[in-house]
């Protein structure tokens, strides 16, 4: 049951990431529309409940991941299934999960402190993000966070399907390809947007 809740919470967070990525893509294609969208979103009465739900899902995912990591370390389980494939990227993604999770958590705290607590005034969210990313240290932090997210998803999406019992010998290749493609799409999308938002051209 723990593995099911871990997988389910992870997939819900993937869904949120896709929505968040789409919102940021809107900021590149139509900055004024993005500012209007952000203003309307933050004025919505239901947003606070969505945020509480995301906090609950995130804390659930973190606590269950810690529980699984500790259990695996005690039993000596170190993702032998991945290692047997001799897939170096899969091995890296699997073995980097604990430290990658820490990097993601630190990035999330930095991101929220910069752009949510407090939230920038209406109409300047994009310029505020731009000013943060003009600093090389912040740009590096955001890129590292995106790369850590890619590795986390690269392993996690396939692992979640195994935990849910939907992965078998007939569909393994398809699910693996889909999961890796989705992880690359999300990870590279955030890297690309980070670079664009850190460029002077995004505002001018």
Q: What is the pLDDT of residue 80?
A: 45
> pTM of the entire structure?
0.86
Could you identify the residue written with the tokens 């969210």?
A: 125
CATH code for position 117: 1.20.1300.10
**Nearest-5° Cα angle at 192, 176 to 93:** 35
Q: What is the pLDDT of residue 81?
A: 47
For residue 80, give the 3-state DSSP assignment: helix
Q: What is the pLDDT of residue 49?
A: 95
DSSP symbols for 112-150: HHHHTTTPPPTT-HHHHHHHHHTSHHHHHHHHHHHHHHH
Q: What is the pLDDT of residue 201?
A: 58
d(CA 51, CA 55): 6
Domain that holds residue 60: 2-202
Domain total of the chain: 1
Q: What is the pLDDT of residue 94?
A: 83
d(CA 182, CA 17): 11
Q: What is the pLDDT of residue 93?
A: 87
Q: How far is CA 163 from CA 5, 139, 166, in A?
A: 9, 35, 8
Q: What is the pLDDT of residue 42?
A: 87
Q: What is the pLDDT of residue 85?
A: 53
Please, what are the averages of pLDDT over each run of 10 residues along the chain (204 residues)? 87 95 91 90 91 94 84 63 64 83 88 83 86 90 93 90 84 90 96 88 53
């Amino acid at each position: 049951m723990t593995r099911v809740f871990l997988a389910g919470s992870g997939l819900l967070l993937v869904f949120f990431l896709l929505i968040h990525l789409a919102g940021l893509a809107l900021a590149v294609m139509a900055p004024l529309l993005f500012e209007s969208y952000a203003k309307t979103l933050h004025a919505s009465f239901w947003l606070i409940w969505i945020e509480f739900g995301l906090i609950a899902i995130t804390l659930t995912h973190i606590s269950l991941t810690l529980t699984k990591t500790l259990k695996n370390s005690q039993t000596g389980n170190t993702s032998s299934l991945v290692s047997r494939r001799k897939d170096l990227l899969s091995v890296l993604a699997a073995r980097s999960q604990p430290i990658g999770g820490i990097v993601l958590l630190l990035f999330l705290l930095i991101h929220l402190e910069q752009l949510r607590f407090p939230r920038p005034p209406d109409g300047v969210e994009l310029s505020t993000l731009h000013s943060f990313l003009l600093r090389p240290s912040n740009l590096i932090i955001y890129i590292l966070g995106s790369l850590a997210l890619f590795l986390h998803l690269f392993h996690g999406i396939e692992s979640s399907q195994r935990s849910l019992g939907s992965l078998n010998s007939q569909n393994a290749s398809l699910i693996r390809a889909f999961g890796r493609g989705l992880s690359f799409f999300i990870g590279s999308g955030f890297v690309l947007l980070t670079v664009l938002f850190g460029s002077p051209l995004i505002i001018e």
